[in-house]
Chain A
């Protein structure tokens, strides 16, 4: 069955460092991959979308990579700040299909 895996353990990093979160998938050939941010008690908020034919996408301090051979996406936040502390969700979809969300990874940036 299709599976999306994100590290369920919290990632703790120091302010100013680069945070790297991983999204792995199996039995899936997604055409699109999206990353969302979710703060406690609130709905997820869209951050970035990357297509299967794109290797990398950037937006300000955010960078997403998509490796269809490794079946993996990496989400980077450079120069991290305490305000970046949240849970980050990846979501995948085949062409024409709906998104399926991973379980999310909680990021804690310490001052």
Chain B
């Protein structure tokens, strides 16, 4: 285990539902990330938090709303999603938001939007 947990592991939701993805890291890291991974596409960085402050928001639609209440927890709130939002959503953490730092990934949440 990497020290980063994600729940739920699988989620099926309708386009009108509201759901949340949860990520927790037990590594004492200061940076946390949300990535989207669609089939046959590179990892897409969605949001980055450093010490609970959002430092990156890569033009993500407003139907995705992140929340970082403390440095150990990260949420991704979902509402009125589209079928093309179906993907593997990965959470990661690192000591700092720097390229020298290794990122530790959780197992991901497989999201299916019907």
Pairing of A with B? yes
Interface residues of A (CB under 8 A from B): 4, 8, 30-32, 34, 41-46, 49, 89, 92-104
Q: Is the interface of B mostly helix, strand, loop or mixed?
A: loop
Q: Which one, A4, A8, A45, A93, contacts B100 given CB within 8 A? A: A93
How many residues from B make CB contacts under 8 Å with A? 24
Interface residues of B (CB under 8 A from A): 2, 4, 40-43, 45, 48, 56, 88, 90, 92, 97-100, 102-108, 110
Q: Least Cβ distance of A70 to chain B in Å?
A: 20
Q: Which one, B56, B92, B99, B100, contacts A43 given CB within 8 A? A: B92
Given contacts A32-B100, A43-B108, A103-B42, 8 further A-B contacts (CB under 8 A): A4-B42, A89-B43, A93-B98, A97-B98, A97-B99, A98-B45, A98-B56, A99-B103
Q: Are A45 and B2 in contact (CB under 8 A)?
A: yes
Q: Are A43 and B102 in contact (CB under 8 A)?
A: no
Q: Are B99 and A41 in contact (CB under 8 A)?
A: no
Q: Are A44 and B102 in contact (CB under 8 A)?
A: no
Cα-based distance from A99 to B43 in the complex (angstroms): 11
Cα-based distance from A82 to B108 in the complex (angstroms): 24
Cα-based distance from A90 to B102 in the complex (angstroms): 12
Q: Are B42 and A41 in contact (CB under 8 A)?
A: no
Q: Least Cβ distance of B62 to chain A in Å?
A: 22
Which of B41, B99, B108 has most A Cβ within 10 Å? B99
Q: Which residue of the partner chain B has the closest CB to A51?
A: B100
Q: Which one, B41, B99, B103, B107, contacts A96 given CB within 8 A? A: B99
Q: Are A104 and B108 in contact (CB under 8 A)?
A: no
Q: Least Cβ distance of B99 to chain A in Å?
A: 2
Q: Which residue of the partner chain A has the closest CB to B92?
A: A43
Q: Which one, B43, B56, B98, B102, contacts A101 given CB within 8 A? A: B43
Answer whether A46 and B99 are a contact pair too, CB < 8 Å, given A8-B40, A41-B88, A101-B43. no
Q: Least Cβ distance of A90 to chain B in Å?
A: 10
Which of A43, A44, A96, A100 has most B Cβ within 10 Å? A43
